[in-house]
Amino acid sequence: MDLLNQLAASFQNAFNAEPTFVCSPGRVNLIGEHTDYNEGFVLPAAIDKAVYLAVGPRADNELHFIAHDLSKTYVGSLDTIQKTNTWADYLLGVIAQFQQANHPLRGINCVFGGTIPMGSGLSSSAALENGVGFALNELFDLGLDRISLLKLSQRAENEFVGAKVGIMDMFASMMGKAGHVIKLDCRSLDYAYAPLQMEGIRIVLCDSRVKHSLVTSEYNTRRAECEAGVRLLQTVYPNIRSLRDVTMTMLDTHLKEKEPHLYRRCAYVVQENQRLLDGVAALEAGDVATFGQLMYGSHEGLSRWYEVSCPELDILVGIARQQPGVLGARMMGGGFGGCTINLVEARALDAFANRITEEYKRQTGKDTYLHVCKIQDGTNVISL
């Protein structure tokens, strides 16, 4: 509420008007990593770390943005939107997509800030883009549905910002539902909500404080390895399109002996899709303990089969596994650094925080920062 009051005061000071407020959350992904670009499944949720926007329409075509957390401003015009290679591009890119789709706009005033920890892998950029698109839709009564809005956000990041991200981050931020995770089919964009009964359980992110430079090059390599495995299998099974269509029997028969390296990469993805489906079934049965064990299996696959972990992430998961009251843990995101995601019983939270902080420091010499999250609704208008 303090942040909202600060944004309101800044907006009033700058524009002498009362704003509309939009809350656009960050996201976690509970299981299903590196499956999105293989047309598989993911299981994200919107969380209570968010970007907040105070917005209002203008009578002219000017664009006035204030980045509250950075104490920086941008002034431009709808008539001449150009890339700046700064934070402003996340707003400008969305506006440019609305223009390309011929949605009628006027200028806007926007002051924004957030509670998403920087560099934590919780998708602050997707949250901001969704927030801008949602605000434009509200201010100018454009009548777009949420799926249309999140697709505009993705195109803004792909085409204007220049990051070739998948759909998951935008989807989770826009479509989140309190108390639920989203089972998202990355091929069809079909989705369903699965209940996450979190009574007495907390989602805790442990930041390794490591970001290796390998992440982009290795991401591209893994993607190419998966595609190479599919091409080899297509010589036997011409109807398959991606690893989504592949079974372990296919891999065992045709890749295991001939291409052991590609086999391990492809096997991880096939197994991770199955872990996710098993995990959804466990959640629907109210069995969070079984879901937690599948999270451990996911980390094992990411670390040993897909090889996108790093010593620090493995250490964090190893410490968590030894702690009473921890139901599951795994690395989250592209890999080679970032956060682990942990399901921790609320009664064990303090002991877990103390233990993992001390033990991680002892083993690595680094600090870890903990973020406790709740699952909330997706992008929406809120009131002070």
305-355: pLDDT as tens digits: 999 999 999 999 999 999 999 999 999 988 888 899 999 999 999 999 999
Q: Is 56 left (phi over 0), alpha (psi -120 to 50) or beta?
A: beta
- Number of folded domains in the chain? 2
> What tens digit of pLDDT does each residue of 108-159 get?
999 999 998 776 678 889 999 999 999 999 999 999 999 999 999 999 998 9
Task: Supply the range of the domain harboring residue 208.
Answer: 201-373
pLDDT at 333: 84
Residue 349's closest CA among 373, 325, 378, 328? 325
Output the known binding site for substrate. 33-36, 219
pLDDT, mean of residues 154-173 = 89
Q: What is the pLDDT, as a whole number, of residue 266?
A: 98
Asked if 270 contacts 38 with a C-beta cutoff of 8 angstroms, the reply is no
Query: So what's the pLDDT on residue 163?
Result: 79
Are residues 250 and 178 part of one domain?
Answer: no
The pLDDT tens digits of the residues spanning 343-369 come to 999 999 999 999 999 999 999 999 999
- The answer on 230 and 146 residing in a single domain is no
Angstrom distance (rounded) from CA 169 to CA 316: 24
What pLDDT shows up at residue 143?
97
- Predicted confidence at residue 212, as pLDDT, reads 67
Q: Provide the CATH number for the domain around residue 294.
A: 3.30.70.890
Numbered residues of the known binding site for ATP: 119-125
Which residues make up each annotated binding site for Mg(2+)? Answer: 125, 157
Could you give the CA distance from residue 338 to residue 109 in angstroms, rounded to a whole number?
A: 34
State the pLDDT at residue 1.
66
Q: How confident is the model at residue 164 (pLDDT cuts 50, 70, 90)?
A: confident
| Same structural domain, 22 and 104 | yes
Helix (H), strand (E) at residue 24? strand 20-29
Q: Give the active site residues.
A: 169
60 and 93 in a single domain? The answer is yes
- Tell me: do 210 and 238 sit in the same domain: yes
Relative to beta strand 44-57, strand 41-42 is unpaired
The pLDDT confidence band at residue 247, using thresholds 50, 70 and 90, is: very high
Closest CA to 187 of 146, 242, 247, 248: 242
